A = this chain, B = another copy of it.
Amino acid sequence: MSHVGYSCLMALDRDHVLRSAAALLTRKSTATMDEVAKAAGISRATLHRHFAGRDALVRALEALGIAECEGAVSRARLDDGPAGEAVRRLVREIQPAAGLLAFLYGESQLWEGDRQNDGWQRLDARIGAVFQRGQRTGEFRIDLTPVWLTEALYGLIASCAWATLDGRVAARDFPTMVAELLLGGAVRREES
């Protein structure tokens, strides 16, 4: 029964296509379906067999981005140890997905509609919780809301991803730049 082999190959291809598309759209967010297909090394017809249309492709990339973030959040074990260290781990774990995140962050199509993926809400909750925890333990200042700190984290990740693509920031400095700037603002300053 070749159907098994079929779906198996399709699944592998699908992931490859998705990652190629992410890499391309990170650099050129207005790339056409044809360019996406060429970047993945397949034809436009096959691309359409994987994703019904451009919208479906973007949605799939959104789902991938959410999944990558959730993986990073889990691996970072945000509930363990000092909140500051947890945030540092999170930034380090999320770096490989930073380009994809930057693309999604700028894809206003995903945010304008009233129906947006619940995954972001779940992520916001998990990430916001670590800031809240840091505030409760007195490690973080309380005059910046967890919601804003979460938003700022996304913003800094996207900014640094773009700066990295332009060569204004070295890729190896990404975790330091993002985490140190964010935490410098979030960590309560030591009393002098």
Chain A: residues with CB nearer than 8 A to chain B? 27-30, 106, 108-109, 111-112, 141, 143-145, 147-149, 151-152, 154-156, 158-160, 162-163, 166, 168-169, 176-177, 180-187, 189-192
| CB closest residue in chain B, given A169 | B148
Residues in B with CB closer than 8 Å to A181 are 144, 148-149, 152, 182, 185-186
* Distance between A164 CB and nearest chain B CB, rounded to angstroms: 10
- A109 with B168: CB separation less than 8 A: no
Residues in B with CB closer than 8 Å to A184 are 141, 144, 184-187, 189
Question: How many copies of the shown chain assemble into the complex?
Answer: 2
In terms of DSSP, what is the predominant structure of the interface of chain A?
Answer: helix
* Distance between A107 CB and nearest chain B CB, rounded to angstroms: 9
A-B interface, 7 closest residue pairs, ranked by CB to CB distance from nearest: A184-B185, A155-B159, A190-B192, A181-B185, A106-B106, A155-B155, A185-B185
- Once bound together, how far apart are the Cα atoms of A181 and B182, in whole Å? 7
* Distance between A102 CB and nearest chain B CB, rounded to angstroms: 10
* Distance between A183 CB and nearest chain B CB, rounded to angstroms: 7
- Once bound together, how far apart are the Cα atoms of A108 and B185, in whole Å? 28
* Distance between A139 CB and nearest chain B CB, rounded to angstroms: 13
- B159 with A151: CB separation less than 8 A: yes
Residues in B with CB closer than 8 Å to A106 are 106, 108
* Distance between A13 CB and nearest chain B CB, rounded to angstroms: 28
Residues in B with CB closer than 8 Å to A144 are 177, 180-181, 184
- Once bound together, how far apart are the Cα atoms of A192 and B152, in whole Å? 27
- B180 with A163: CB separation less than 8 A: no
- A158 with B155: CB separation less than 8 A: yes
- Once bound together, how far apart are the Cα atoms of A126 and B159, in whole Å? 19
